[in-house]
Amino acid sequence: MDYQTIRVTATGGITTIAMHRPEVMNALSAQMRRELIAAFDAATEARVIVLTGTGRAFCSGQDLQDAKSIAAVDFERILNEEYGPLLTRITEARVPVIAAVNGAAAGAGANLALACDVVIATESASFIQAFTRIGLIPDAGGTHWLPRQIGLARAMGAALFAEKISARQAADWGMIWEAVPDAEFDAAVGARAAHLAKGPTTAYAALKQALRRSFDLTLPQALTEEARLQGECGRSADFTEGVTAFLQKRPPLFSGR
């Protein structure tokens, strides 16, 4: 596909999807949302996906100029028909998805990052739930992710006050996995992605499913689901290879089967 608003590269099992509208801080237009969905669908050979931005921002959120007039913006339709499918692609991807937050992540852009499995940010990056500044509520999954990741009190404050949260503070709160010095960012993301690309993708897919469903299950249900998924992993070639490599005292060569 000939992408206009994103850049896609693939090497060594790592597919990198970069939002590429730097002139508007990678604001999410309808075309970008369509292209992001297409890129996730096309990443069938990936063992890990990295979502990032180009320029000085990760993503500034919904492009409010992507309509003939403000009155013409139908947020309910956009969220159901465009954001919902994109967020589902991220959360249900069978491989790990890393958000490499290279700069400001605001509004829907912040929540796009939080939907990913792991968030790594530069120390100069920031996250802001900017919605109330224009009379809206957090969307693109924000009302779901925030209280689960940082607790109700912090989620409520972040949403009500719409204050900037630094990457370091986000890491301290448990909103993201880690904040790294800007000069080390590319190397850190590359190392994390390479580690996951060499890992047991069958197990990764199962653990993503188990952890993401855990909030909706009772303990007995969670234990049953855990046992089912572990059974699948125990029958995989990756498990056999992992044990064999352990006994032979060598690094495993996982196949993803």
Residue with tokens 């180009």: 54
How far apart CA 139 and CA 147 sit, in angstroms, is 13
- 153 and 50 inside one domain: yes
Final residue of a structural domain among 172, 197, 222: 197
- 79 and 206 inside one domain: no
- 103 and 120 inside one domain: yes
- pLDDT attached to residue 68: 59
The answer to whether residue 222 sits within a structural domain is yes
- pLDDT attached to residue 66: 76
- pLDDT attached to residue 248: 94
- 214 and 167 inside one domain: no
Backbone angles phi, psi at 36, to 5 degrees: -65, -45
Q: What is the mean pLDDT of the chain?
A: 94
The answer to whether residue 256 sits within a structural domain is no
Final residue of a structural domain among 182, 197, 212: 197
- 93 and 127 inside one domain: yes
The answer to whether residue 254 sits within a structural domain is no
- pLDDT attached to residue 47: 96
Number of domains in the chain: 2
How many helices (H) does the chain have, and how many strands (E)?
Answer: 11, 10
- 125 and 98 inside one domain: yes
- 42 and 167 inside one domain: yes
- 140 and 238 inside one domain: no
The answer to whether residue 114 sits within a structural domain is yes
User: 228: which residues sit within 8 A by CB, 6+ positions away?
Assistant: none
- pLDDT attached to residue 71: 63
- 222 and 107 inside one domain: no
The answer to whether residue 57 sits within a structural domain is yes
* DSSP SS3 for 118: strand
- 193 and 207 inside one domain: no
- pLDDT attached to residue 1: 75
Residues 73 and 93: beta-carbon distance below 8 Å = no
Residues 128 and 161: beta-carbon distance below 8 Å = no
The answer to whether residue 228 sits within a structural domain is yes
- 50 and 173 inside one domain: yes
How far apart CA 126 and CA 124 sit, in angstroms, is 7
Stretches where the chain sits below pLDDT 70 are 67-72
User: 58: which residues sit within 8 A by CB, 6+ positions away?
Assistant: 19, 26, 52, 99, 100, 101, 102, 103, 104, 105, 109, 113, 125
| CATH number, position 218 | 1.10.12.10
The answer to whether residue 257 sits within a structural domain is no
- 41 and 167 inside one domain: yes
The answer to whether residue 135 sits within a structural domain is yes
Structure tokens at 136: 């809206």
Final residue of a structural domain among 159, 174, 197: 197
Task: List the domain range (segments joined by +) for residue 209.
Answer: 201-247
| CATH number, position 35 | 3.90.226.10
Q: Single out the residue of 140, 125, 159 nearest to residue 84, CA to CA.
A: 140
